[in-house]
Structure 1
Amino acid sequence: MLSGKEKSRRDKLVTEVEAIVNESGDPHGFDAAAWVDNWLHQSVPALGGRTPAQHLETDDGFALLIRLLRQSQAGTYS
């Protein structure tokens, strides 16, 4: 269960994903909220095997998630 702050950040991630898909793909039929909800609970190698949900609590963790999404749009990872 996400806290109020985590829900707000989740909503910002949804907005970020919607923008990425609108800029780089075909948004027709794509459910950004469902995608984010699924992604939040998957182990991500770029996060050291942790889930994105584990990073929602802190400012640094949230910034890392935004950066990771933007890097995925550009096809770059660091």
Structure 2
Amino acid sequence: GSASAYVPFARAEAYGSSKAAIHYLMKTLQISLVPQDISVSLVVPGFVETPMTKQNDFPMPFIQTPKQASQAIRDGIA
């Protein structure tokens, strides 16, 4: 997912909408899969340094390296 599902960003209408859809899907799957004893995790990492974010021309608070994001995701799931 992405934090853009929670906070609207100008010029990111399609991106934010797609992330909101992922958020909704994951939340409904969390409910629907309880009877099968299946857990569903939603990861919302914020900004991660990638070729895509290198093209951004706006501030990206708390941007993380892929290594930092990966460790935080693994810690959160554990």
Same topology, TM > 0.5: no
Q: Which has the higher helix share?
A: 1
- TM-score, normalised to structure 2, is 0.32
Structure with max Cα Rg: 2
